[in-house]
Structure 1
Amino acid sequence: MPELSLGADAAAVNALRSAVMRLSRRIKHQRVDESLSPTEMSVLGTLARCGTATPGELARKEHVQPPSMTRIVAMLEAKGLVRLEPHPDDRRQKVVMQTEQAEEMLEESRRKRNVWLAELASGLDEDEWEALRAAAPVLEKLAHL
């Protein structure tokens, strides 16, 4: 892998950061349920990707303090989006799992965001669209490093 020098690539890194941040903010506004915070949506997304988790595991994955996660889980439970079940191995703990209502809401949210992004991308020419298709796996890799 080539080592990037921020000096030589500072403009490209700055442009990439700025574009990704702006696009991310715009995508986040394409929500189905406006009553959920971005953090609550993120927790639901994590549960959808990773399956059940303890509140402590969710706190680590979401980079929040455990007491904050306890409050988030309680709010999501009150809205019927998650449920707490006994931990299969440790009776002192609970595991958090999303409900069918959460799955449906996340699917509708994905659909809405995909439609919005497709409409936005329809303004690109074929070369731009091809470059974007080629960049998607690279951006995905960066998101998970």
Structure 2
Amino acid sequence: MPDLTSGADVAAVNALRSAVMRLSRRLKHQRVDESLSPTEMSVLGTLARCGTATPGELARKEHVQPPSMTRIVAMLEAKGLVRLEPHPEDRRQKVVTQTERAESMLEESRRKRNAWLAELAGKLDDEEWAVLQKAAPVLEKLAHL
């Protein structure tokens, strides 16, 4: 593992943090449905990637407290974006499943964000684009550590 405490490494980590945060903020503004919070969109994205989950599992994946996730799920259910169903093995629990409406909204959101990002990336030269393509799996790994 690299030691990232030297001056140059600290500066590189700072630059990476700053760039990722700015790009993330700009991407968040490319939303299809302005009535959903970024947290609600994130929960829907997690359900799309991971499938059905209990509110407790969603809370862990989203790094929020279970009571907060219960409120988020209730809001999403009220908007018709998720449904609660009995847990197949534990009757005391419920599982959260996204609806078709949520799936289509997420697909439209991905299309909009991808188009925006593609437009930006189209302004890079070939070498910059190649570097960015190689960095994508590493950034994905960082996002899930």
What's the TM-score, normalizing by structure 2? Answer: 0.95
Runs of 4+ in 1 over 4 A off after TM superposition: none
Alignment-derived partner of residue 22 in structure 1: 22
- Partner Cα separation in structure 1 for residue 2 and residue 44 of structure 2: 36
How many residue pairs are counted as aligned between the two chains? 145
Contact 2:55 2:66 (C-alpha < 8 Å) held by counterparts: yes
Contact 1:55 1:96 (C-alpha < 8 Å) held by counterparts: yes
The CA deviation string for residues 106-130 of structure 1, in whole angstroms up to 9 with x for no partner, is 0110010000000011111111111
Alignment-derived partner of residue 132 in structure 2: 132
- In the TM superposition, what is the alpha-carbon distance from 1:19 to its structure 2 partner? 0.2
Matched AA of 1:49: R
- In the TM superposition, what is the alpha-carbon distance from 1:61 to its structure 2 partner? 1.2
Contact 1:6 1:13 (C-alpha < 8 Å) held by counterparts: no
- In the TM superposition, what is the alpha-carbon distance from 1:6 to its structure 2 partner? 4.4
The RMSD of aligned alpha carbons is: 1.1
Alignment-derived partner of residue 80 in structure 1: 80
5+ residue gaps, structure 2: none
- In the TM superposition, what is the alpha-carbon distance from 1:8 to its structure 2 partner? 3.7
> 1:109-124 alignment to 2 at 5 Å?
109-124=109-124
- Partner Cα separation in structure 1 for residue 69 and residue 124 of structure 2: 40
- In the TM superposition, what is the alpha-carbon distance from 1:91 to its structure 2 partner? 0.8
Alignment-derived partner of residue 7 in structure 1: 7
The CA deviation string for residues 32-60 of structure 1, in whole angstroms up to 9 with x for no partner, is 10000000001001111111111111111
Match of 2:33, SS state, is coil
5+ residue gaps, structure 1: none
- In the TM superposition, what is the alpha-carbon distance from 1:22 to its structure 2 partner? 0.2
- Partner Cα separation in structure 1 for residue 58 and residue 28 of structure 2: 20
Matched AA of 1:129: W
What's the TM-score, normalizing by structure 1? Answer: 0.95
Match of 2:89, SS state, is coil
Change in Cα spacing, 1:6 to 1:49, as seen in structure 2 (3 Å) is farther
